[in-house]
Structure 1
Amino acid sequence: MTFATARLCDTYTDKAHLQIAEPIFKLFGASLAFSGQITTIKVFEDNALVRTALSAKVNHRVLVIDGGGSHRCALIDGELALLAFENGWQGLVVYGCIRDSAVINAIPIGIRALHSHPLKSPKKGLGNLDTVVTFAGVQFKKDYFLYADSDGIIVSETELS
């Protein structure tokens, strides 16, 4: 599916409930555009559940990670980005940081994150999967549809064509 978030906004703003994320994210990964149904995870400075989620084989899904906006450690590294790609994830949206950005930028997956940070996160296994998460002015819900490209991120309750 080829799309442009600007065109989707032009077409669907009056016809569907669209949420448009505030432009706070940096682009990482070799894929500038990605879309899919949302899986959510809420963690804070702990990426053990992120690894568990990314270990699942999926089809046309995007993992939205609410990391509380922390700038003190990274939730995604090159190894997890590669795992995500190999298991079929289309992209990741991280309300937090990543690391290994040079490695990640060579992997054919789209990632949006606040920043890069060299410190890895602890692994305590705390957090919640498939809960509603809210950041960047958007409520991300399981099975909603996310579309991201170089212009921004939009979320819709229904699939847009």
Structure 2
Amino acid sequence: MPDFTPTTDLSDAWPQAQVAAPVFRDFGGRVRFQGEAVTLRVSDNNPLVRQTLQTPGEGRVLVVDGGGSLNCALLGGNLGIFGVENGWAGVIVHGCVRDTAELRGLDLGIRALAAHPRRSGKREEGERDVPLTFAGVTVRPGDRVVADEDGWLVLGADLVPEPKL
């Protein structure tokens, strides 16, 4: 990825950057990704995730707060394909994903708590473009999210764009 600054360097340069707790696993084919955050809050239902990934991603990162639920998957192979086709850089799910072999083959960054074989519900409910707080970070729409082999962090709007180190 061009002009990618590792999370370790960003954390050193900006101690005020928020670093997510190391509870997320890497499920996507792209380990390093970054972009402006688009936020969703859902509860065991993924129609808003689908609808969002079907829109132009423009290199952004979709951050989904599923409340840390381990009841079902909020993202699977079909939605991952939408993410790739529509230009999303990555998806971070505070919850579960499924179709992990398929996700691993996609050029999309994907972080989640765990894998789960059960699909989510299909009720169209949730919130979009709201601040999300989980795993020790608060992600606001427009914040820069950066992920790599060492974890992921959030740079608030006052810290964007990233520094040239």
Q: TM-score, normalised by structure 1?
A: 0.96
Letter paired with 1:78:
G
Alpha-carbon distance, 1:21 to partner: 0.5
Tell me which amino acid in the other structure corresponds to 2:143: Y
CA distance, structure 1, for counterparts of residue 161 and residue 48 of structure 2: 27
Q: Equivalent residues in 2 for 1:27-38 (5 A)?
A: 27-38=26-37
Q: Distance in 1 between matches of 2:161 and 2:4?
A: 13
The aligned amino acid for 2:12 is D
1:7-86 pair list within 5 angstroms: 7-13=9-15, 17-86=16-85
Cα distance in 2 between the residues matched to 1:137 and 1:159: 22
Q: 2-side partners of 1:58 and 1:156: how far apart?
A: 19
Displacement after TM superposition at 1:12 (Å): 2.0
| Structure 1 position 10, deviation (Å) | 1.5
Match of 2:86 in 1: 87
CA distance in structure 1 between the aligned counterparts of 2:144 and 2:33, rounded to whole angstroms: 11
CA distance in structure 2 between the partners assigned to 1:77 and 1:60 by the alignment: 20
Q: Secondary structure at the match of 1:89?
A: coil
Give 3-state SS (helix, strand or coil) of 2:81's partner: helix
Equivalent residue for 1:5, pick from 4, 7, 19:
7
TM-score by length of 2: 0.93
RMSD of aligned alpha carbons: 0.8
Deviations 1:73-117 (Å, cap 9, x if unpaired)?
000000001100110100000000000000000001110000000
List gaps (5 residues or longer) in structure 2. none
- Deviation at residue 58 of structure 1 after TM alignment: 2.2
Q: For structure 1, list consecutive stretches of 5 or more residues without a partner in the other structure.
A: none
The answer (yes or no) to whether the contact 2:90–2:110 under 8 Å persists in 1 is yes
**Identity across aligned pairs (percent)?**
41
